[in-house]
Structures are given as structure tokens and as C-alpha cells.
Amino acid sequence: MRLQIPDYIKNILDKLEQNGFESFIVGGAVRDLVMGSTPSDYDITTNASVLDIQKIFSRHFCTGIKHGTITVMEDSPPVEITTYRIDGKYMDNRRPSTVIFTDKLAEDLKRRDFTINALAYNPKIGLTDLFEGIADIKNKRIKCIGNARERFNEDALRILRAIRFAAALNFSIEETTLAEICKNKNLLNNISAERKRVELTKLLLCDNNLELLFSTGISNILIGNTKEEVIPRIKAMPKNVALRFAALLKNTADAEQILNNLKFDNKTKQRILNLINLKNTTIPTDETGIKRLLSEIGKDVFFDLMVLFGRQDVLKTTNDILLQKTPIFISDLAINGNDLKEIGINGCMTGHILSSLLDIVINNSTLNKKEILINIAKNTINDKNNSNDFNCKKM
């Protein structure tokens, strides 16, 4: 089997060979090439040591010397090159306590997770498939290398990765591998929140086999007792992180705890929580109501909310409103804070008056003229002063 690889990868392989070493593209890149997809990146494995790699490639930086990895740049995107290695015992379900370097490709390949990720390729040597990875690709099957229980105890994140690969590739999970996922799912509690978040996010952006997240019980570990019934809602969403998590999670309190546990960044977390909090919002269909809601929650959240509700009719009306360029936000008003300051309105009064003017203009956009709004502002202040009920603290 001959695979098409970029010239810069060929050049790296050739350079290693010219210096007396063997090397192979390995892992997901080979899997993708076999399946006819274009890899997002390439990893190379070699019998060259870290010191050898550093001598051969002048442009490099150290990304994992302890584990035998150097990242090189040969007038190309960064490429990780790793020395063949044997992993020692795993003490924490995450990483090996020791690493032993070897000169045998087979030893390096058998430490990997799944058969489809243990393929190696060199243009001159061809494809190396020691664990029937090609057969599993043909049969659309995720299968651990060797003993599945050992693989999951070595790195418990593989439990979630198996589900993610099944979803991304639309593969099934081999029977023994699936059974060990169910038995060992609690090992995920030993994995960092960041690593789990990355895999779960990738998984939720897929459309196939999402039921595995629930049928294996992994959903109970990561997100509580959310039911499989949410799958149609998730799949109905565009492949957008905020929308898919908003479709997955139920109420704001639970969602906030889950998102905190998964160490989401504040911006993404707030976007998801905003959508969940607005799930009970009554969606207006009239122009004035749409403009008010747009003004209240902002354009981005509004559009996400309409997608979440599946309200294409409201989206169409909203797009028509936006094309008309009618005032919706305070920034659309014909006056601003400086204009109000000139007539003696400042401090906390400014925001209150501008909000009142926007409310008026949303009802009647023809009033959005500077002179008219100035007069309304003056009259508002006079009315408040005369009634002695203008209190900034209340506003």
C-alpha cells in the first residue's frame, strides 16, 4: 500500500535515513491516510536518539525530552519526532513512571492504545501493521492492542478516546474493549479535568454513536445523570461547542458545576450558561418584541438561542430587521453620553436616560433624531425633578 505524504515529511524521513536511522510516520496520520482523509498533523517515530535528532535537525525545540520527543521545523509545519520507547509501569492511570528507549519499532507500536492507531508507514518500506489495524479499519472497529483492561489502566483517558473515535469515525467498539470500558469507567476520576474536557468536547461535536456516552455510564462520571434522550437535540445543533453543551445540559445550577469541574474557560462557560438560563424565554414573533430581546441579550446570544430553539422563522424576521438598520442597541441612538452631558445629564443618570430613549425608539424608530431625543431627555429630567422621585440608587 502506497500512501501520499507531503514532501516536507518525506524530507524529514530521508534526512534521518541519510544519517543511518530508520523512521516511520505513525499513529493517527497513517490511519487517516489509509482511510483517504488528510491528516491535520504528522508524528514520526525513529530509532534515532534525542541527541541524534537534535544533531540532524538544527531547527528544533524540546517538547518532551523525558519521553524522547523533539519537535523539528524543516521549512515546514512543526513535526514531532519521538524515539522508539517502551513505557514502564503506569502508577496513576495517566502516565508511565519510567520510559525505556529501544531500537525496535515493534516495541514502540505495542505500547499504543488502539490497533487503528498502531500503524506505521515509510515510503520505501511500506506499511507496518503488527496488530491487524487495517482489518479493523475495514471492519470499522475500535479495538485495544493486547489486553484492554491493561490499556485502560495505563491511561484511563483511553476510555473516553475510544468513545470519541467511535463517534468521529462512525466505528463500532469491539466487544471485549467495550466491556472493559464499562467496567473501568470510574478510572476517569483519576484523569485531569482539562484532558477530559478536550475529549468530551471533540465527542460532542460528532454526530455518530453519541449513545455510547450514555450506554457505557461515562455520562454519569462526567455530566451527571443526563439521559440519552438529549441526543437528538445535540445532533440538531450546528457543530458549535456552546450550542451542543447547552443542548446537553439541563439547568443552570447543575451546568455551572459541571462546567467548573471540567475547567471550561470563563468566556465559553458564560456563553453556555446564558443559553441554558434563557431556555424558558418566551420567544417573540413581532418586530418590537424581537428588537427588545435583541437589545436585552445581545446579537450573538440571540442568534444562538434561536438556533437552540430551532426558530428559523424568527431568525428570518430578525435578519430583515437588521437589514433595515433600525435602532436596537444604545450605540444605535442618534445621541450619546456626551450629548447628554452638554445638557447637564451625567453620572448614573446617563445610562438610565439612554435606556429610556432606546425603549422609546424601539417602539418608534422615526424618533431616532438628535433634536427629538434631546428634547425627550430634557423633559424626562424635568419630570423626574418635579416629582422628586429621581434616585440613581433605585435605578
Asked whether residue 296 falls in the same domain as residue 253, the answer is no
Which residue carries 450619546 as its cell? Answer: 336
Closest CA to 395 of 357, 333, 351: 351
pLDDT at residue 395, rounded to an integer: 41
Q: For residue 91, which phi and psi values (nearest 5 degrees)?
A: -95, -15
| Residues of the domain holding 385 | 333-395
Would you place residue 233 in the very low, low, confident or very high pLDDT band (cuts 50, 70, 90)? very high
Do 183 and 84 share a structural domain? no
Residue 394 maps to a domain: yes
Tell me, yes or no, whether 393 lies in a domain: yes
Residues 53 and 13 in one domain: yes
pLDDT in tens, 137-192: 999 999 999 999 999 999 999 999 999 999 999 999 999 999 999 999 999 999 99
Q: What is the pLDDT of residues 181-232, one digit of tens each?
A: 999 999 999 999 999 999 999 999 999 999 999 999 999 999 987 788 999 9
Q: Lowest-pLDDT range, 62-76, 106-120, 332-346?
A: 62-76
Taking the C-alpha atoms of residue 297 and residue 96, their distance in angstroms, rounded to an integer, is 48
Burial 325-336 (b: 16+ CB within 10 A, else e): eebbebeebbbe
Residue 94 has pLDDT above 60, yes or no: yes
Q: Which residues contact 31 (CB under 8 A, 6 or more apart)?
A: 116, 117, 119, 133, 137
20/126 same-domain check? yes
- Return d(Cα 116, Cα 375) in angstroms, integer: 73
Any domain includes 2: no
Look at residue 83 and tell me whether its pLDDT is greater than 70: yes
The domain tally of the chain equals 4
Q: 290 with 314: CB under 8 angstroms?
A: yes
3-state helix/strand/coil string of 100-135: EECCCHHHHHCCCCEHHHCCEEECCCEEECCCCHHH
| Residue owning grid cell 505513525 | 26
Q: Are residues 347 and 307 in the same domain?
A: no
Q: Residue 387 above 60 pLDDT?
A: no
Based on the domain organization, do 168 and 267 belong to the same domain? Answer: yes
Whether 1 maps to a domain, the answer reads no
Same domain, 289 and 390: no
**Which triple of cell numbers denotes residue 230?**
438529549
Pair 334, 369: CB distance under 8 Å: yes
pLDDT in tens, 103-144: 999 999 999 999 999 999 999 999 999 999 999 999 999 999
Residues 253 and 165 in one domain: yes
Q: Cα–Cα distance between 52 and 69 in angstroms, integer? A: 12
